[in-house]
Chain A
């Protein structure tokens, strides 16, 4: 059970995804990684061995969709999210329903193959 008395919103800005369907490229997380810079202070964990398929790009970076775990960002509401990376660094999240980008406060290097 969590505690939230008021409604807080995830800050995102609209962005355009340039799809790269069936790119064949993907990331594998070598070691479980906790991301603490997500919106509203909620942490998220990228699971060890999880695979993330490159599905396209937005101006902020490449977009990777999870193959075997669910990723969301949340404040009062919850949004499905994909990773946005520049090289091996995670810079934020892409919200596929809202077609928006949520920036991490600070980019973090991902433990990938």
Chain B
């Protein structure tokens, strides 16, 4: 019985780890925090937890797919100043809306909440100081070379 439990835990651990981001850490990538273009802003997206790691919803920014919310992963995009809505969908759709100004940097953190059948992954807008601290241990999962 004990061996079966250990085996199950090992399988679970393997599943969780395989669902987490792999790649260079934020501190190794050391990306610029501000967009190079003065008319653009930079938005960082990150998920600093392994909870619900199997859930990896697409991240939609104003109806455009820009990445996935993967545990311990981060990526960023540069966008013109304006109104933005970030949407993640599991069994329900969750949105976070915010303003982006020229030269501004914003941090969107993904968190998991309990759902009816599966968990919900939702974005939260956080203070720069909080985002910059929490993102340090996340790994780069963006498509573009930083």
Using CB atoms and an 8 Å cutoff, list the residues of chain A in contact with chain B.
Answer: 1-7, 69-70, 72, 74, 76-80, 95-98
Q: Does B7 contact A (CB under 8 A)?
A: no
Q: Which residues does chain A contribute within 8 Å of B85, judged by CB atoms?
A: 97
Stretch of B19-27, B32-40, B63-71, B116-124 contacting A (4+ beta carbons < 8 Å): B116-124
Known: A76-B94, A77-B95, A80-B98. A1 touches B127 (CB 8 A): no
Q: Out of B51, B111, B115, B126, which one reaches A70, CB within 8 Å?
A: B126
Known: A1-B111, A2-B111. A78 touches B122 (CB 8 A): yes
Q: Does B81 contact A (CB under 8 A)?
A: no
User: Taking the nearest CB of chain A, how far is it from the CB of B117, in angstroms?
Assistant: 10
Q: Which residues does chain B contribute within 8 Å of A7, judged by CB atoms?
A: 92
- Among residues of A, the one whose C-beta sits closest to the C-beta of B85 is A97
CA distance A76 to B88 in the complex (A): 12
Q: Which residues does chain B contribute within 8 Å of A95, judged by CB atoms?
A: 97
User: Taking the nearest CB of chain B, how far is it from the CB of A58, in angstroms?
Assistant: 16
Pair B94/A5 contact, Cβ less than 8 Å: no
Q: Does B125 contact A (CB under 8 A)?
A: yes
- Among residues of B, the one whose C-beta sits closest to the C-beta of A47 is B127
Known: A7-B92, A70-B127, A80-B125. A97 touches B113 (CB 8 A): no
A-B contact pairs, 11 of them (CB 8 A): A1-B111, A4-B120, A5-B116, A7-B92, A70-B127, A77-B95, A77-B96, A78-B94, A80-B98, A97-B83, A97-B84
Pair B125/A78 contact, Cβ less than 8 Å: yes
Pair B115/A5 contact, Cβ less than 8 Å: yes
Pair B114/A4 contact, Cβ less than 8 Å: yes
- Among residues of B, the one whose C-beta sits closest to the C-beta of A78 is B96
Q: Does B112 contact A (CB under 8 A)?
A: yes
Pair B99/A80 contact, Cβ less than 8 Å: yes
Can you list, as one digit per residue, whether each of B123-137 has a CB less than 8 Å from chain A (1) or not (0)? 111111000000000
